[in-house]
Structure formats: C-alpha cells, structure tokens
Structure 1
C-alpha cells in the first residue's frame, strides 16, 4: 500500500499515544514535530511534520525479521546513491546508528523504524490514467529495474506471490475454492493458453531484480495538467529476482484494468520502459502472455474472495470487473498485440526461412505496377473507378505477362474525398499476374486448409493466404518446404492472377489494407510477401508523409493518400489535376517553350479567348507574366495617362497591395477625403462582388478629381461571384482598367480603354508559350464545364449556411461576398487565426486576411458535398473554441 498522502486519523484509533511517539522521536532520533496517526494499517504508522521535513514512523511486532528490514533499507540507499533511479524514501538511522529500535511501548515490545516521507498522493479512486500517466508507470518501472542492476542483496532471493514464474500453481491454488466449473474453465483456459506461449520463451528471458507489484498501491504521485502521474516508489515488498519482463508485465496488468482491458492502451508504458531499459525480442514476445497470465491470477483472486464472501457486493463487483478485463484480454489476437509492442519499441520480427513459391518465374521479369498517390498511371480521376487497379494491372500483364502490385503502397484508389476520414489504403498484400498453369511450391512447411476462395498454409510462426491457385490437395495436408501446392488458375495461354498475403496469426483473416496510423502494427503482423517472389515488390516509404503531392479538383492528397480540402485563393481556377491542362502543357513543351518577341500560336489562341471575356469598353488587352506584372502595368497606364502618381485604394474580399504610392484610405469617408485632397491618379477597387454603402459618393469624388477607376478582379473575377463574369458588374461600374491574375498560374491580364496611352515601358516580359497554352486550356474548360454556374449554385448554398452558422455563433461578425468569393469575418484577428488553425487540424486549408477574415475562395469546381464538409468542420472548430 502506498505511503503517500495517507489518511490521517485521531490518536484514539491507535493503541499508541501521541506523547509516547513524541518521546521516541526525541530520545532515539533527536527529532520533534507534529505527530499524525495514519489510518488503515495493521500496525500503527505515524506521519511526523517538523516544519522542514516530513517523516514516516512505522511500527511492527518486535519479532519482525530484522534482516529483511535491513535489506530493504539497503535497497533504498542503493537507489538513492544513483542519479537516475525513481524517488524512494530514505531510511533514518537512530542516534545510535541503527536501522531500527525495539522498545516496550504500551505494554508490548515493538520494532520501530523511521523513513523520510515522499510527498504526493495516491491515484484517485476510479481515475483513468492518461497516456502520459501510463507512460510514467513504464518509465518508473524501468528506472527502478535499472537502478537495481548489480545489487547483491538477500532480499532479492525471496519469492513474492506475484512472481509470474509460479503463475500456474498459484492459479490452481486460488481456484480450489471456486465451485462453479464454467468460471474455473474460463480462467484455466486463459492461463493455459498464456503459459503455452510463455513456456518456449522462458529460457531466453533475463533474470533481474524487479518490482513485481508496481501499481497504484505501491507508488505516490502528483496531479498535473496531464492528470495524475506516479513520481516515487513507497513499497518495496514486491522487489525480488524474477524474469525481468515480468515486472513490467505485472504493472501492465494493473494498467490494463485501469483502461478497461484495452491492450493497445499499454503502448505508452512499453515505449517508455524500452526507451530507458531496452527489452529483447524474446521479452517483447513474452510480455503480452505474461500480462494475460497476471490478469488470470487477479481474476482467480477475485473469485476466491467471492467464494469466501458470497454476499459481499464489493467482492461481486470486483469479480465482474476482473472477468470483463480477462474477456477483453483473451479476445484480442496475441499476434496483433505482439506486433503493436514491436512497433512501440521500434523492433521487427524476422520472417522464417522460406523459398520462392514460383520457381519457374524469373524474378527479374516481374514488373511492379505503381498505384501510389503519385503514380503516372493515375490521372483525371480514373482511380475513382473501383476496378481501376485491376485494369492497370491487367494492362501491364497483357504487355509483359508478369507483373505485381506493390506491398506497403498507399493506394490512391482507396483514398477518400472526406478529409475527416482516415483512408484504409496501405496495401498489406500483393496481386501478381503470371501465366496460368504456373506451378507453385510450398515456401515453408505447414498445414493446408481451404477457407472459401482462399487457401491457407499455416506454418509454425506464419500463415500464407493464397487466392487464385488451383489446389487439389485435401484440407489438413501437411506440406514440407518445396512440396507442390498447386498451379496458378486460368485458361491455357492466359494470364492468371494470384493474391498473396502473410499473417503471423493463423486464426486471423488479415485485411487487405490498413490506415496510415496503424501501419507500424499491421505491417509487422502482416509482413511483405516479397520473399515468395524472390524480388522486392515493396513500395518505397514516402520521404515526407504530410505534404500534399497530388491535387484533384478542390482536394489535395498527401503521400499517404489523406485528403485535404483546399480553399486557398492561389489554387487553380478550375481545380487541381485537370488532364486537359496537363496535356496542353505537355504538348506545348514538345513543340517550343522559348520566349519570343514574335506572335506565336498559343499566345494568339489565349488572346482570342480573353477578348471574348473582355468587359464592355475595355478593348485593349495586355497579357503579362503574373499578377504583379499586370498590376504594375495598370498603375503605369494610370499614371502615364493622368500625369499624377498617387492612387487611393479601397478593398473588399481582396488581397493587399504593396505599392508605396497606393493609399489605403480606410473606409468610405477616408477614401472621399483622400480623393478630394487632389493630385490623385485614380481609385483602385478590389474584391467587391456586392454594392456597399458610400460607393456612389466615392465615385462622385473620383469624377470630380478626373481620376481613373482601376479594378483588381484576381479574386472576384472569372465568374467567381456566380451571377457575373466580373465582380464590378454587380456594382454597375464602368472601369477604365481591369487587372485579373489567373489563379494558380503565372499569367495575368490587363484590360484597358482604347483612349489610354500605352505605358512608357512596354517591354515587360511576356508569358511563355507553355503558360499561354495552359491558360487557354483552362479558359476552355471553364466555359465547357459551366463553372460560373457551379459557383452560383454552390456559393448560394454555402453562403446561406454560413449566415445560419453566424446566427448560432456570436464569434462570427458577418459573412460577406457572393458565389465562391466569400469571407467569414470574426470579431477579432486572434479568433480568426485560431479557427483557421483548428480547420487545418481538420485538414481544411484556408487563408486569413486582416483584420479578422477567413477567406473561402476555392476553385470554381467546388462541389456541394465539399461545401457541406466545410460547414461541418467549421461547426466543430467553433464548438472547440
């Protein structure tokens, strides 16, 4: 039982008077202080507080074994002399230099000893440990074991009841009082199964001094932000020599109860233990069966107590809880838990010896087929077809006769468009195409059985699951390595298909795929079957897992095939990954991509399409390399025409301009005042898709001062507002100059009235032929797929839902914009940034803009389903705030 923060009681509840204890402290230890009796001890304990230190005085019968007490004190002192052991009490010697003192107290001889008191508190009743709390138990167990290395102490030769080397006999003894045969059988079966796994591993397990009862009752801890964490060891009765891993197993059995039987909740403890005191492969393999064995003992103990006190409701409740944990422990695959433990420790289990299964196939002739997120075979969304992977494999098979998919590949075909869901797309199998009739041999010795369309060869430590093999052998047939097992199914002169997968648990049907989060465990449980083919068929591990490597429409995919929703304004206008855009770029690169001062076909085609989109009255067209060039060219046109330099700016859902001569006046009246101050070349409007109060007065001030009206439509143009091609049309304006960058591309356009003289420097670099070809293709797609109408339909739905969201969440000030050019405006900048960060964690990419706006400017192909997913994520983020 832990001595930390004990329950104090009145002196009357013990048989030793406070005055007597005070006299002992003065005469034998030279100490004084307040004395508090401690409740719940068979022999009286006292807490002593002298204002500087706190001590624990323990009493015992005079005949208590002195050698055992002295040995325990020696262990404490040994740990305290080290630098990396856990916190433990320090024995305090008497004034005569003795560990204990025997005194006649209250008519009885008693043995007393004094220890420093470890500050802290026991684990609160019914408190569930956090992952950090579980890890702390692993760390303290490892630190204690490490600090006991090399200790020669007779105390270590004792055999505590919790020694798992005696798990079988101990269970038999405990079950002797249990009369219900079904209950006895459940516990006995669990114990026998565990011991069968442990027995062959026993000779390989290290013997060491370990604490075999390190749990909530033998430690003290503190409550932190991460919950209660153990900090020191207060009880040494469980320390003895045993299997080194048994100490950790006993602690894990306690943790398993705390986490209601969840085996995988133990991983932080195992990882932390291994980091401090590395385990061997054999010890990791034995760990889970030892935990199950300890769980069986605890269940048998509970049943034994219930047999003695059948009417005790607490005993019944404890028994039911122990059985629930035992059921959970025996239900999970031991091989799965072993694999998880291997992942936690960073270790692997080598495959058994085997030979290639298809000896007639030259491994060098097998071509691997790339179906990963970055595969060139996947384009234009063809991976959405559920049969696409087989079609790709069949196509390669027709060309070569021999091919294979790759193990450990994150399949794009199994990825999902919903950012919240983790796709099960890591391949734990390979599909192999070879000539039908190819003979197959048993790669290792094992027993054969048929399960539906699968043939399973179960060896000593590995099972092979086969599909696509003609096998005439009966179930239960024992095969040696190299024995014929069958032939690849299929018509003569055709190509047959085999599906191959390994599993270390012969009773488990291994999945074909798993999530990225579970790769470490499942790849150890279901290792690569490449050895069957004699050639590496494993996909390379992505260098950077969390960085987007592919885009499709409004989605991005990282190397693991996890989806992100892309709402950023620099995304391509028509979305990511359109095959016609890629084809246009490829085709032009095959022809020419050198800069030219002469007109070329791609530029003329682009100009033709742009002129069809030109606003009324803006007949002059300038195509330049990106928004910045086009913007500065428009400024030069304005200044050259007016002879004035400064320009006043007012923006809606728009980016920030960086020209020092542009004056962001700040509000309607500020803009009017700035224009009326004179000497202004013009007014720049950007990002407006709806009229706003004060606009007529601003335009009147501009007219009075004979300035030009410039409009930046990079964000609000190209039909993004849904109802208008250009955002200014909703305002009823007649601009003199319009600038529009093509989102996602290094190209931009400047439209101007014919009567404006060309800018003095008309030698700005022109876009490359490839950029022109890509832009022309995008505009063609934009028109054919009617993306402007999609912006209207989806944008109306999204804005209406955002406005409802704003009514429910007062953190939102308002929603501005239209179509797919929207801004969610928050009460302050900090809140906007926090919501954006929460969305990023929900795999939604969006930008913020001062003062406090979250911009929603997705590509115009944005689907209604994606809009609904965005709304769900926003609701979640706002609720978390």
Structure 2
C-alpha cells in the first residue's frame, strides 16, 4: 500500500542506534564502516566512512511507512536525472530490508556526492540563486515523461494537497497566533489558486530541490551542480518544483521575494512556464511556507530529540514571513514583468477630476538629479515642504509631487537594502481650501483623516490628518495630501492577500525593484486630480546608458562592476543612483574633500563667469595657487608645473629627472603603478594593471624588489633589508655603467594595496640614488594632501625630502588637475628639452579649484579627520581579523588602507575570487568597494577625507556581515 499522509499524519523518524546500524552494514551489505548521524525530518540518515575515514556514501534508513515501490521510485528518479541532465545525483550502492531492534526497516547505501550544501541562512549570490532555478528546471525536464505505479503516493509535501495538509496540521497547533496567521494566509493563497488548479500540468518531480539538497564543488565561487535526496518523489503540479525551490531561498540573508525572481527567470528560460503556472507560483510559495511552518512545529512536538527539525523551525518561520510579506497579486505581477509577460491592468480613473484648480498647477521633481536636492538638501526632511510652499507663494494654485517617479528626498543615507523611494501616490499641496468634487456616479466615503471617492472598480483615497468629515469635503490648504488610486475591491484583511485601500495599508513608497508588481494594484491618480490622461502612464523605458556607453567608448575604458548602478549625484562620502539608492563611497580618493562640495561649485561657477582660458595668459589665480601648493612642501621644493592628471605628472617628473641629469635610465619599484602615458606606463610594473608589465619594460627601466613586508621576499622584521638591498642594486647598476637619472617610488604602494614602506627605506635608497648622480622622485598621486592623517605628504612618513614630487587626484577633488613640484635648479634644466605648457593645467578654473581644495582641507580639518577616523577604522578592521580567518592583514595609514584577504594565513594564498565576490556583496549592501593588488585580493579603502565615523562604522559593519553570512 502506498503512503497516504492523511491516513498517517504523524511520521517520527527511525532512531536506530549507530552501533546497531554499523553491525547491520557489515552483516547485510558487507560494508565495514563507521557512521556519523546526519539530519533528516522523517528518515534516518548517516554518513558512511571507510576504514581511512574517507566518505563512502550515505546510509538512509527509510521511515517504515514507505513501501518498497515508493523506495524504488526514489532510486529511479535519481538515476534518470543524472542520466538525462548535466546534474550530479547519488546512485544506490546497496539496498535491502533489515530486521532491527526497531522492527523491519529498509536501508540503502547511496553513493557519496562530494561538495558542500547551502544549508543554513547564509547569503546566496545572484549567480547561486540563478543556478538553483536552473537545477530545479533540469530536474523537472528529466522527470516530465516518467510514469510509475508509486507516483500516486500522497505526501504532505505535494502542493496539490497543501490546503488539506494545513487544515489537518492546524487542528493540533497549540499556538493561537500561529494558527490564525497561517490559516488566513493559506486560505487566501488557496482561493487565488482555485481557478487555476485544473489547468496546471502534473508530472513526476523531486519537490525538494532546495538549499539543503543541492551541492556545489569545494572550490571558491563554484556553483551548485548536484541534487540529492529524492525521498519526496511523487506526481504533482509541475510548477510546484519551482515553488519549493523559491521558498527555500527566502530564509537566506539578503534574499526576499524580489531577490528570488532570479531563480524564476532561470527556470523559465529552460522550462517555460505557462501563464496559469506563472499565476499559480506565488500562491504555491505561500502554501509551501504554511506547510513548512506547521509540519516543522508538529515534528518537534512529536520528536523532541530531532534537532534537525528543531533547528529548521526558525528558518521555516522566516520563509513563511517572507512569502506573505508581499501580496500575491503584487508578486504575480512582478513575476510576469520579470518574464516579459503581460501584467494585470493597472487601475485607471474613469470619471472627471475630483479637484478644480483656479490657477496653475506645478509638478515638482524630487528625483536624484533635481536641483532642489543640491548641497545635501535631500537629507533635510523639510526641503520638499519648503519647496512646495515657495511655489505656492509664487502664485501656483497647487503643487504636485507625482506618483511612480523615484524620489531622493527622504532616502536613508546608509542602508543595506534598496530603500522605498518610489511613491505609489501623488502628494498634493493646495494654495487655499478646495472642495472635493463628486463626479457623476462617484461615491464619497469620509473617515477620520481620509476621503475616498469610488467610481466603478477604481477608488481614489486622499489622506492627511486634517482631511476628515468635519471639513465637509473641503481639502485643506498648504498641507501635503497623499492621493492614491487603487482597485476598489482590494482586501488585505488576510495576510498574503491583497492590501486594503480602506484601511490605508497600501505602502506610500516602494523600492524601485518592486514598483512593477505594485502597479497591478495601484495606479496613477493624476487623471483623478485633473492633471493627467485617464490612460495609465506607460512603464518607464529600460535605462540604456550602459549599452550606449559600451557602444561609444573603447572597450578597454572599463567601469566598475559588471552591472553597475547608474550614479548621478554625490554628496560628501555618498553616491546616489537614479533610483534614489544611496551608496557609501569607500574607494574615491579623487573626490578628496567630498562629492559636490558647495565651496568648489561656488568657486568654479564664479570663475566661469569671469574667465577660463589657456595657461599662457597672465592672470592672478595661477600665481596664487602655485604659491599655496609650494607652501605645503618642505624646502627646497618651491617650483611648480601644472598639468591635468597623475599620469601627466609622473611622466613630466621622469622627463625632468632626465633633463636635469642628462641621463635616461630610471629605477622603479616592482608592483607599482604610475600612469598610462608612455613614460609613466614604462615605469609601472603592476601586473594587475598590465599582465605583461615586467616582460615589456623598456631597457631604460630597471626595477627593485617590491618592499612588501607581508607577502614579499622579506617579511616581518626581515623587511628592514629591502632598503639596503635596493640601495645596493642602485650602486651595482652604476658600477655596471648604467647612468641613473632617477628613482621613482610611492611612499605607500597604492595599487599594491596600501603597503607601507619599511622605516628608513626611502632614506637608504634616496642616498644611493643621489650618490650615483640621480634624482629622487616621490609619486604622491594617491596619498598626498593629508590622506595619511599624521603626514600631509607620504614621503614625510619616511623622514625624507625628494627632489621631485608628482601629485594629482586629490588636487582637483574630481577636477582634472595635476602638478609637479621641484627645485628651481631642476626646473630650469628642463629648458634643454624645449619649452613646456599645458593648455588647461593651471588654467584660471583649475587654479581656483586647486586653491579651494587646499582651503577646504585646512578649514574643515580633513587631515585631522583622516587621522582620527582612519585610526578607528583601521582598528576595527584589524579586529575583524580576530574573528574571520579570511582577513590576512590591514595595510596603510589614515584614510589610505588595504584589507588583504587570504585563504591561508601561513601560505598567504590570495583570496582573489572571494575578494571580487565580497565587493559585489558590499555593493548590494550599499557600499562601493573594489579590489586591488597584483593578486586582486586587497580591498582598497581610500574614501573621501570627510568620511564620518558613522560611515566608517557602517562600512565595517557591512563587511563583518559579509564575512559572517557569506558572499
């Protein structure tokens, strides 16, 4: 007889002692092995290890209620999936009935499938979520045509019976709150599913392709490629395979209903869903969650020693909570939109305007690029209100903030999830009290704080504390009235059902990724206000800026991230995309004093109204700036060349050394990057920027070992030898007849990951270089201008004074500006190379901006901020290393830090793939971060100098979360 859940109900798992199971293995299967218990809800599982401890397979002792045909069906399904699809599956090695102390039990030894499961609630990347959808589809395809006598078994996991399972389990659920919540959600889901059920195709399926039952190879970044545990095989609705997979994602860190859509998209690409299956999917997810919650709680009550079931209770509760957190119609519309299918008709207003205006109506733009958000005004909660009142004061009859356009105003500054920035209704301000008109056929409902007008299937709700029955339908003046257009029959009294317009439970704003789903329930009230067409506004066109960039720019001109956010605004250490998502910028040392600094904007605006021309003209700004810049450097560095970039600065510094010495050979440190011009690229030896950097060096470039005390040839205290060795090499080159023009080096190896040079290194090497007639060049492009906190210039940390300093990036705070500062004597010798000029380097505009940057660093104490915030930040990063083995060390100083990630602290094997994945995960959590170093395993931490302590803490908190929950 086949198993029927409704005839049995309670299924306590077998509890055969390990020693008895080991004896039975030897006596019945001739397998001499040791066993380790594995979790299971209804069967009993053991890991089988051979004499040497190697895993041989899994011993599965089936629950005695399952018949032999059912067990044969499980074996068949596993074999067919492995044969028909590129999916690894376990195969049966030995099988038979055992007579045990607990009675007659069926035992199977199933081949060991190597890899790691996704068990637990750690983060799953979009690639993993996608792969789960693919595996679910492949299993469905492999079993679609299989028929078997045991396929009609009735399991509690068969979603065709979910409503009955819930009803059965609810009878014994002792918690009234759980009972009511689950009953309401299941009832609503079953009602949505009812009209679709007859059209849903039925086939054999696994019905448990979940995070617990897929395996990925044990290598970084490997995606799941194996499916195990075919214990729930039976016939059911085919779409249930996907519903089960999707539900299993919902307890993982960072994954909610909308993040799970990647699995739906992947399933549909391999095994297309019918329209009915699409509409049935989310009701089935809700029902799956309800069954999981009730069955898990029942299993714990039945089998208090079953820790597997007990551990699962919290996960199952999170699955259910996530499944019902978004109304079924909203998720169904979102799924349809994701798959490119037509969605439910957005409600429209069929009658005349509810309000008549006696003057102009002004629409306000509060999006990311709107001027009203300038200078951080979006952080001020009163900005929108003040703007509306100013427009009303100028003569407008009304001001409207439209529905469905992303709004930056009110967006949180730091958030680990995409915030709700898309208003689902319009906000209306009136210049004077205005009556609410009742178009023909409209019903007006007045309740405290709201007015609702209904015509046919559409309702418009106007909401504000001053809108109530005592106003006799008058809408108040100069207060924000929130206006939504919804389906009149919306009913959200049931969790998991549709929101209720009359109870104000519709969200006022939703995240951009959820907007397409919510528009199935909520329309645009513009027509009801008399300021728009009755027809629904078209969905926004996809943003094609990235595609156009790729088509117009050279491919080698790269951008951060494969799928980057479109950043259109910055403020201090924050970056903001078009949807109003705010990111913490932890990599941008170009914007040294902070994004969109108002003093820079004001200075640039003023100068552009006066003059901007090439630097050969005579004007005061260039002299002012050159004097100020030179004053920050020690004597005898007093003569300035102005250029446009760090590459140009490094290039010019090299040419100065060559001209001043009459020589052409340069010594550079390996693993360094100095620029992309011919000369600066020639001395750049970082293979991260150019894989052939060392092999393609011209003959005039000579290199010394990278002075990396962490992973270089000399480590720890032994790193003190780098300086003497480099000096000896310089002298050796001279002895060999090489006439050295100069030595170029960063005080902190930037692209290598913020590596601090050993104490005394530059003093040792500079002395040798000067001894053989060369000049010392300091590349300060990355770390100059106070970034190191304790020192304004990086070379000061080494207690030296170079002959030539190249600097850029921070000089212009995002404006193209670079400089070379040297002595008058060296500068004058450049005349042997002809004349020098830079059309825009040192132009009136660049000079004024450069001076303003120096003033801001001084006036806002940004060097001190770099020292204080940087020290605390470094300390917190170092603390992460005490808890997370992946953290190797923390390089750098001030606000130029590098967190090096390694797989092994002894071998220092670089965690390259992990670093890339961590950067992607940080972006999802609202932090912009990128890898650096020759192994691309260092987080380059170089934020704007105005970084607040709160932002620094947020970065570490999010990094801690990633290291704790996965990437």
Tell me which interval the TM-score lies in, with the shorter structure as reference length: 0.5 to 0.7
Secondary structure of 2:628's counterpart equals helix
Alignment of 1:109-148 (within 5 A): 135=133, 139=137
Distance 1:613 1:578 in 2: 22
Secondary structure of 1:749's counterpart equals strand
1:415 Cα deviation from its structure 2 partner: 3.1
Distance 1:626 1:172 in 2: 67
- Do structure 1's residue 845 and structure 2's residue 929 form an aligned pair? yes
- Do structure 1's residue 453 and structure 2's residue 449 form an aligned pair? yes
Secondary structure of 1:413's counterpart equals coil
- Do structure 1's residue 750 and structure 2's residue 769 form an aligned pair? no
Secondary structure of 1:378's counterpart equals helix
- Cross-structure match for 1:795: 870
Distance 2:445 2:202 in 1: 44
1:404 Cα deviation from its structure 2 partner: 1.9
Distance 2:804 2:322 in 1: 73
Alignment of 1:462-473 (within 5 A): 463-468=459-464
Distance 2:358 2:240 in 1: 44
- Cross-structure match for 2:728: 673
Distance 2:865 2:317 in 1: 57
Note closer, same or farther for the CA distance 1:616–1:541 as it changes in structure 2 (3 Å cut).
same
Q: Deviations over 1:137-159 (max 9, x none)?
A: 974898699979xxxxxxxxxxx
Distance 2:889 2:189 in 1: 66
Q: 2:386 aligns with which of 388, 391, 416?
A: 391
Say whether the 8 Å CA contact 2:804–2:822 is kept in structure 1: yes
Secondary structure of 1:380's counterpart equals helix
- Do structure 1's residue 782 and structure 2's residue 862 form an aligned pair? no
Q: 2:511 aligns with which of 512, 515, 528?
A: 515
Q: 2:780 aligns with which of 690, 693, 713?
A: 713
- Do structure 1's residue 553 and structure 2's residue 572 form an aligned pair? yes
Q: Deviations over 1:657-700 (max 9, x none)?
A: 53454433224234313432252223334225877145444343
1:563 Cα deviation from its structure 2 partner: 3.5
Q: 2:789 aligns with which of 722, 731, 736?
A: 722
- Cross-structure match for 1:428: 424
Say whether the 8 Å CA contact 2:407–2:421 is kept in structure 1: yes
- Cross-structure match for 1:501: 484
Say whether the 8 Å CA contact 1:584–1:774 is kept in structure 2: yes
Distance 1:443 1:134 in 2: 52
Note closer, same or farther for the CA distance 1:277–1:442 as it changes in structure 2 (3 Å cut).
farther
Which consecutive residues of structure 2, in runs of 5 or more, have no partner in the other structure?
5-23, 29-61, 88-109, 147-154, 218-223, 487-497, 547-563, 684-697, 706-721, 749-755
- Do structure 1's residue 682 and structure 2's residue 742 form an aligned pair? yes
- Cross-structure match for 2:911: 831
Distance 1:825 1:312 in 2: 47
- Cross-structure match for 1:35: none
Greater RCO (Cα-Cα under 8 Å, separation 6 or more): 2
- Cross-structure match for 2:830: 759
Note closer, same or farther for the CA distance 1:294–1:731 as it changes in structure 2 (3 Å cut).
closer
Secondary structure of 2:373's counterpart equals coil
- Do structure 1's residue 336 and structure 2's residue 305 form an aligned pair? no
Say whether the 8 Å CA contact 1:846–1:854 is kept in structure 2: yes
- Do structure 1's residue 563 and structure 2's residue 582 form an aligned pair? yes
Distance 2:583 2:291 in 1: 49
Distance 1:333 1:641 in 2: 74
1:267 Cα deviation from its structure 2 partner: 6.4
Say whether the 8 Å CA contact 1:847–1:855 is kept in structure 2: yes
Distance 1:799 1:510 in 2: 44
- Do structure 1's residue 595 and structure 2's residue 614 form an aligned pair? yes
Note closer, same or farther for the CA distance 1:741–1:128 as it changes in structure 2 (3 Å cut).
closer
Distance 2:320 2:74 in 1: 42
- Cross-structure match for 1:578: 597
Alignment of 1:2-17 (within 5 A): none
Distance 1:745 1:276 in 2: 49
Distance 1:291 1:501 in 2: 29
Note closer, same or farther for the CA distance 1:637–1:289 as it changes in structure 2 (3 Å cut).
closer
Distance 1:166 1:823 in 2: 55
1:350 Cα deviation from its structure 2 partner: 0.9
Distance 2:435 2:567 in 1: 43
Say whether the 8 Å CA contact 1:369–1:405 is kept in structure 2: yes
Note closer, same or farther for the CA distance 1:597–1:139 as it changes in structure 2 (3 Å cut).
same
Secondary structure of 2:403's counterpart equals coil
Distance 2:938 2:182 in 1: 65
Q: 1:860 aligns with which of 911, 920, 945?
A: 945
Secondary structure of 2:781's counterpart equals coil
1:224 Cα deviation from its structure 2 partner: 6.6
Say whether the 8 Å CA contact 1:470–1:486 is kept in structure 2: no
- Cross-structure match for 1:24: none
Note closer, same or farther for the CA distance 1:440–1:145 as it changes in structure 2 (3 Å cut).
farther
1:509 Cα deviation from its structure 2 partner: 0.8
Alignment of 1:160-309 (within 5 A): 197=191, 202=195, 207=199, 210-211=202-203, 215=207, 226=224, 229=227, 248=239, 264=257
Distance 1:361 1:639 in 2: 78
Q: Deviations over 1:420-439 (max 9, x none)?
A: 34423232222123443334
Say whether the 8 Å CA contact 1:433–1:497 is kept in structure 2: yes
1:598 Cα deviation from its structure 2 partner: 1.4
Q: Deviations over 1:519-539 (max 9, x none)?
A: 443343444333433255987
- Cross-structure match for 1:487: 474
Distance 1:742 1:665 in 2: 26
- Cross-structure match for 1:373: 368
Say whether the 8 Å CA contact 2:587–2:928 is kept in structure 1: no
- Do structure 1's residue 438 and structure 2's residue 445 form an aligned pair? no
Q: Deviations over 1:95-126 (max 9, x none)?
A: xxxxxxxxxxxxxxxxxxxxxxx9999xxxx9
- Cross-structure match for 2:954: 869
Secondary structure of 1:682's counterpart equals strand
Note closer, same or farther for the CA distance 1:765–1:520 as it changes in structure 2 (3 Å cut).
same
Say whether the 8 Å CA contact 1:360–1:439 is kept in structure 2: yes
Distance 1:300 1:824 in 2: 45
1:643 Cα deviation from its structure 2 partner: 2.0
Q: 1:382 aligns with which of 366, 377, 382?
A: 377
Say whether the 8 Å CA contact 2:397–2:431 is kept in structure 1: yes
- Cross-structure match for 1:6: none
Aligned-CA RMSD value: 6.3
Distance 1:804 1:47 in 2: 52
Q: Deviations over 1:478-518 (max 9, x none)?
A: xxxxxx9933212xxxx554211245622561122223443
Say whether the 8 Å CA contact 1:623–1:748 is kept in structure 2: yes
Say whether the 8 Å CA contact 2:429–2:480 is kept in structure 1: yes
Note closer, same or farther for the CA distance 1:528–1:732 as it changes in structure 2 (3 Å cut).
same
Distance 1:263 1:695 in 2: 53
Say whether the 8 Å CA contact 1:711–1:735 is kept in structure 2: yes
- Do structure 1's residue 822 and structure 2's residue 900 form an aligned pair? no
Say whether the 8 Å CA contact 1:214–1:251 is kept in structure 2: no
Which structure has the bigger radius of gyration? 1
Distance 1:554 1:515 in 2: 23
Distance 2:878 2:182 in 1: 63
- Do structure 1's residue 628 and structure 2's residue 647 form an aligned pair? yes
Say whether the 8 Å CA contact 1:339–1:524 is kept in structure 2: yes
Say whether the 8 Å CA contact 1:253–1:292 is kept in structure 2: no
Alignment of 1:311-350 (within 5 A): 336-345=327-336, 346=338, 347=341, 348-350=343-345
Which consecutive residues of structure 1, in runs of 5 or more, have no partner in the other structure?
4-8, 14-37, 57-75, 87-117, 149-159, 240-245, 475-483
- Cross-structure match for 2:561: none
Note closer, same or farther for the CA distance 1:428–1:581 as it changes in structure 2 (3 Å cut).
same
- Do structure 1's residue 416 and structure 2's residue 412 form an aligned pair? yes
Q: Number of paired residues?
A: 765
1:385 Cα deviation from its structure 2 partner: 0.9
- Cross-structure match for 1:769: 844
Distance 2:302 2:940 in 1: 66
1:42 Cα deviation from its structure 2 partner: 9.8
Alignment of 1:600-615 (within 5 A): 600-615=619-634
Say whether the 8 Å CA contact 2:450–2:468 is kept in structure 1: no
- Cross-structure match for 2:401: 405
Q: For structure 1, which segment, 363-372 or 856-865, has the greater mean C-alpha deviation from structure 2 after superposition?
A: 363-372
Q: For structure 1, which segment, 803-812 or 344-353, has the greater mean C-alpha deviation from structure 2 after superposition?
A: 803-812
